[in-house]
Amino acid sequence: MNQLSDQTEWLAIVNPNAGNGKGHKDWNLIAKLLERKNIFIKTKITEAKGHAAMITHEAVREGFRKIITIGGDGTLNEVVNGIFTDSTCPPEEISLALIPVGTGNDWGRMFGIPSDYEKSRENNQ
């Protein structure tokens, strides 16, 4: 098992299909904003339904405890399920952030996370 030596690194799980392709279209802009804010990331791109949960399981086992989802409600749901069904560590040890790029973004709206990427980052702190 490869434990991360620097726990400041976040895993960004990106759904390129979220928001009818907005996840793919906006990812470079989002990555630059994160870099400008000194948020160091490793990126994983989802390839199919259920893939975000598998990525999450693998990442938690590798030592990631900070995860950013770039997608919609479905991507967030998969990541949350991946966290709660993994036995590597208690879910409360995981920090989870959301940058909403989906079509509905119900979860983000319910918790006041704006769709403006810069403001979204500020609300996730």
Q: What distance separates the 2 farthest-apart alpha carbons in the chain?
A: 37
- Chain-centroid distance, C-alpha 45: 10
Out of 26, 73, 106, 116, pick the active-site residue.
73
Distance CA(66)–CA(60), nearest Å, equals 9
Q: What stretch of H or E contains 70?
A: strand 66-71
In order of 9, 47, 103, the CA distances from 95 in angstroms are 11, 23, 24
Residue 6 among the catalytic residues: no
CA distance 96 to 83: 10
Could you list the active site residues?
73
